């Protein structure tokens, strides 16, 4: 299954596929040496998608808010699932049989050869909207960052950010933009953001110069 096929599937099918992959991953967590933090994140993203999907198909609860929440939740699930499938494919402890159980495509001959990491750091810009910050990444030779889908030369990019100097958090995305969501209590705090290109193994290139933005 390709990332593009995930993006094009109906939400019902995306949810069923994600549940199968999640269940098999938990079943083979030890023998396939699947990293616990990845599964924890998978559980959270999947639970959010299931909750919003259930609320949106129930006539008693469906409204504009539940529809918007489902759209966001499934966007996050599709992007995470694409990254997670790449992680499984390059994890040499995951046998082809396990991929087959999950309904995934067989490995191609170069599955264990990661895309090269670009030598230059990305250029980033940030769009601020209330309690959200949208981070855009671009190649240095481009005039402006873009929100388009990742180009073949780039698998995705990682974002590292801190709020008021506290412990750094890192997220990965296969698009060239990512929305960071913050709590209402974070309004007025300073968030410092930097980014780097990543390959399918989530190996990072050089980090760009940080930007500091006030939330809210």
Q: Are residue 140 and residue 51 in the same domain, yes or no?
A: no
Q: For residue 178, give its domain range.
A: 123-214
Structure tokens at 103: 């309904």
Q: What pLDDT was estimated at residue 163?
A: 92
Q: Is 81 within 8 Å of 6 (Cβ atoms)?
A: yes
Q: How confident is the model at residue 8 (pLDDT cuts 50, 70, 90)?
A: low
Based on the domain organization, do 140 and 92 belong to the same domain? no
Q: Which residues pair with 169 in a beta bridge?
A: 161
The confidence score (pLDDT) of residue 10 equals: 83
Largest alpha-carbon pair distance within the chain? Answer: 53
Residue that is written with structure tokens 């995934």 in the block? 104
Residue 132: give its domain's CATH number: 2.60.40.10
Distance CA 195, CA 208 (A): 6
Residue 174: Cβ-neighbour burial (10 angstroms; 0-12, 13-18, 19+): buried
pTM: 0.49
């Amino acid at each position: 299954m390709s990332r593009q096929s995930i993006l094009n599937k109906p939400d019902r099918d995306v949810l069923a596929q994600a549940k199968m992959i999640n269940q098999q991953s938990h079943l083979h967590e030890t023998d396939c040496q699947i990293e616990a933090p990845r599964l924890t994140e998978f559980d959270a993203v999947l639970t959010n998608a299931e909750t919003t999907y259930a609320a949106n198909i129930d006539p008693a609860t469906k409204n504009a808010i539940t529809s918007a929440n489902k759209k966001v939740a499934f966007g996050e699930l599709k992007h995470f699932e694409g990254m997670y499938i790449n992680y499984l494919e390059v994890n040499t402890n995951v046998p082809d049989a396990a991929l087959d159980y999950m309904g995934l495509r067989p490995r191609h001959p170069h599955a264990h050869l990661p895309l090269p990491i670009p030598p230059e750091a990305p250029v980033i810009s940030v769009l601020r909207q209330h309690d959200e910050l949208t981070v855009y990444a671009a190649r240095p030779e481009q005039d402006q960052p873009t929100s388009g889908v990742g180009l073949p030369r780039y698998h995705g990019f990682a974002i590292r950010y801190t709020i008021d100097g506290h412990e750094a958090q890192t997220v990965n995305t296969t698009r060239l933009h990512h929305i960071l969501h913050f709590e209402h209590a974070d309004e007025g705090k300073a968030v410092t953001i930097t980014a780097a290109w990543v390959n399918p193994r989530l190996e990072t290139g050089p980090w760009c110069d940080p930007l500091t933005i006030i939330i809210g």
